[in-house]
């Protein structure tokens, strides 16, 4: 009898410990009046990969044939960072996937959030910038080195940032993805997503997201720099939550 009681006690302790170890689901704010919600998870069906994709092309990193100037700058900046592997949480949860409805509520007139892309220690930070058409993107050099920052994709440009503190404003005219890079430091890159809507979400460590939209059928788009893009139609009901998950297969 004592053995049976001991087993039951150990089982209760094990269940309690497991319950304490499991993270509680995030608490979501109330759904705004007259709106509905889409919520779900973004997952990957395959193993992590190490090369990002920019506009459909694989970005190849490494020495290649560096010029003497590039080699000198590399000594000042340190070794180029290795491309991070695809960030996955439990169950293949995808971290930092961007979710938005292209036909969602547009930003208020004149509400164009400004953004900054800074060059620090031969890296462009932040790695992902989300803003709206009409916003001003400030490119700023925080290194005591000459940098060149270029844009490809939705917006094409190339600016020389000669001195530390040198800043150049870039007007983000239209929606789309612009990839930031550098002609003289090929390991530097970042992404600017200019969205036509003010409503968007970014997945966290558990791959979850939610966005609130007016009732009706909406297109829902998911983008990740390494996994690509998906689009699906989702029906939104006033005061209710529609569940919608996405699964990517690494390319």
In a domain, 58, yes or no: yes
In a domain, 25, yes or no: no
In a domain, 8, yes or no: no
pLDDT band at 28 (very low <50, low <70, confident <90, very high): confident
Specify the number of domains making up the chain: 1
How do residues 56-71 score in pLDDT, each as one tens digit?
Answer: 333 333 344 445 455 5
At residue 113, the pLDDT reads 74
In a domain, 20, yes or no: no
CATH number of 183's domain: 2.60.40.420
In a domain, 70, yes or no: yes
Where in the sequence is the domain holding 170, given as residue range(s)?
35-248
Whole-angstrom Cα distance, residue 248 to residue 45? 6
Higher pLDDT, 240 or 82: 240
In a domain, 82, yes or no: yes
Higher pLDDT, 4 or 46: 46
In a domain, 73, yes or no: yes
pLDDT band at 90 (very low <50, low <70, confident <90, very high): confident
In a domain, 219, yes or no: yes
pLDDT at 167 over 60: yes
């Amino acid at each position: 009898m004592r053995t049976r009681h001991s087993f039951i006690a150990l089982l209760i302790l094990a269940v309690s410990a497991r319950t304490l170890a499991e993270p509680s689901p995030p608490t979501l704010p109330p759904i705004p009046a007259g709106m509905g919600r889409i919520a779900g998870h973004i997952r990957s069906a395959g193993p992590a990969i190490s090369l990002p994709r920019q506009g459909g092309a694989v970005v190849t990193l490494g020495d290649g044939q560096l010029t003497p100037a590039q080699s000198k700058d590399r000594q000042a900046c340190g070794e180029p960072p290795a491309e991070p592997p695809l960030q996955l949480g439990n169950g293949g949860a995808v971290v930092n996937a961007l979710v938005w409805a292209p036909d969602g509520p547009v930003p208020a007139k004149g509400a164009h959030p400004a953004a900054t892309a800074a060059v620090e220690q031969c890296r462009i930070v932040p790695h992902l910038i989300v803003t709206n058409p009409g916003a001003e993107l400030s490119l700023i050099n925080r290194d005591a080195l000459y940098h060149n920052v270029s844009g490809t994709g939705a917006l094409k440009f190339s600016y020389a940032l000669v001195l530390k503190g040198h800043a150049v404003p870039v007007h983000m005219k239209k929606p789309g993805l612009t990839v930031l890079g550098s002609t003289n430091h090929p390991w530097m890159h970042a992404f600017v997503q200019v969205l036509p809507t003010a409503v968007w979400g970014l997945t966290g460590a558990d791959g979850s997201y939610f966005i609130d939209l007016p009732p009706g059928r909406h297109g829902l788009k998911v983008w990740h720099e390494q996994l690509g893009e998906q689009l699906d139609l989702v029906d939104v009901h006033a005061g209710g939550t529609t569940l919608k998950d996405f699964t990517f297969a690494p390319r």
